[in-house]
Amino acid sequence: MEYSGYIEKVGNTSFTCHFEAHKVIELARGEKDGLADSAANVLAEPVLCAYGTGTLVVKKEYQRPEFADPKFQVR
């Protein structure tokens, strides 16, 4: 599995984020004899297995704007 996420929206103390999980390999069961039980095949295209949106909240006193990405400045 590969997991990724990105920030969709920035609020005053919140960040709305999008998350995805992709399957990128699968077990090579039922193929050639002699393969280890852990043998796997890399998929030609990742398969989207799950996605979601979440809101992360950081209290003002714990925010560190000096490390923020400039493109996500609150307006």
pLDDT at 36 exceeding the cut of 90: no
Which pair of structure tokens corresponds to residue 19? 């998350």
Domain ranges within the chain, ordered by starting residue: 2-72
Q: What is the pLDDT of residue 18?
A: 94
Task: Please give the average per-residue pLDDT across 16-28, as a whole number.
Answer: 94
Asked if the model's pLDDT at residue 24 lies above 90, the reply is yes
Return the higher-pLDDT residue of 29 and 23: 23
% of the chain exceeding 90 in pLDDT: 45
More confident residue, 39 or 53: 53
The CATH superfamily assigned to 2-72 is Hotdog Thioesterase (3.10.129.10)
pTM of the model as a whole: 0.70
